[in-house]
Amino acid sequence: MAQLGRLVLAATPLGDSRDASPRLVQALAGADVIAAEDTRRLRSLATALGARPTARVVSFYEDVETARLPKLLEALRAGESVLLVTDAGMPSVSDPGYRLVAACVAEDLPVTCIPGPSAVTTALAVSGLPSDRFCFEGFVPRKGGERAKWLGGLVTEPRTTVFFESPHRLAATLGDAADVLGGDRRAAVCRELTKTYEEVRRGPLAELAEWAAGGVRGEVTVVLAGAARQEVSVTDLIGEVADRVAAGERLKAVTAEVAEATGVSRKELYDAVLAARRGPAS
């Protein structure tokens, strides 16, 4: 039986080629096939790193991702190594790659990763906002109505949120965020990370929206502070828990989740819900 090849996901520099790892240089030189989001950027990166790829190079961007899968899977089944690189950062994180990884997992084909730069964690680290718990939301919806609904889902989100936005829509998104989340909610706009004109703007949403209205260029990552925890009592939460249990969720799981989100005692909340079920003592 022929030995299976391996899919290698390789993180590439966000801007400064010196951030590339030695493993990336070796992988570029040794791969049988390189699937690149932009073949021109791949060539520029290889030149900057002094790498001399001998691999077959295929384009692998969003519009052709599905069409390219069969040939790449065929190469992996035949024992060839396939290196996947995107324009910057980690493949499959809001970039092409997820479908190929999922297809490899479905066929039990080996998948590994060369870790490296990520705009998500880089922006989080320099934002000055809490980083012990965070969530990543990808790209913001383009249409105003969908964007407002998406922002509405962050009103009570306690974790720091990281997302990407086009520089052309940044002002509108920050303005909508100030309206929905409150102009005082703190955020950081990270522009051109690791590049010559890197800039990090920190402040309340209203202030950042006003700044962005003057025009912004480059790759943008936004870090948004989590919602301040609201002081609530156990009594205030009984109805929410009861409604979710009535909808089919398990009582213990719901009380644990609600208690974690609100800071109340799990046991007190659980006991209060049971007491409410029994009704007033006669």
Q: What is the CATH number of the domain that holds 144?
A: 3.30.950.10
- Which of 117, 134, 158 is at the close of a domain? 117
| Residue 203 in domain | yes
| Residue 1 in domain | no
Give the separation between CA 144 and CA 142, rounded to whole angstroms: 7
User: Do 129 and 189 contact (CB within 8 A), yes or no?
Assistant: no
Give the separation between CA 24 and CA 59, rounded to whole angstroms: 18
Same domain, 97 and 153: no
Same domain, 265 and 165: no
Look up the domain containing 145 and give its range.
Answer: 120-224
The CATH number that applies at residue 35 is 3.40.1010.10
Same domain, 11 and 101: yes
pTM for this structure? 0.79
Position 228 scores a pLDDT of: 83
User: Do 220 and 163 contact (CB within 8 A), yes or no?
Assistant: no
Same domain, 254 and 165: no
| Closest residue by Cα to residue 140 from 99, 107, 173, 110 | 173
Same domain, 75 and 164: no
173: its two tokens:
């998104």
| Residue 80 in domain | yes
> What percent of the chain has a predicted confidence (pLDDT) above 90?
85
Number of domains in the chain: 3
User: Do 157 and 227 contact (CB within 8 A), yes or no?
Assistant: yes
Same domain, 196 and 214: yes
Across the range 67-96, mean pLDDT stands at 96
**pLDDT, averaged across the chain:** 94
CA contacts within 13 A on the Cβ side of 76: 25
Position 143 scores a pLDDT of: 92
232 pLDDT above the threshold of 80: no
Buried b / exposed e over 233-255, threshold 16 CB at 10 Å, is ebeebbeebeebbeeeeeeeebb
Position 269 scores a pLDDT of: 92
Quickly list DSSP for 29-75.
HH-SEEEES-HHHHHHHHHHHT----SEEEE--GGGHHHHHHHHHHH
Same domain, 195 and 263: no
| Residue 50 in domain | yes
Give the model's confidence band at 92: pLDDT under 50 very low, under 70 low, under 90 confident, else very high.
Answer: very high
| Residue 16 in domain | yes
Angstrom CA distances, 90 to 13, 150, 267, stand at 9, 24, 42
**Segment 164-212, tens digit of pLDDT:** 999 999 999 999 999 999 999 999 999 999 999 999 999 999 999 999 9
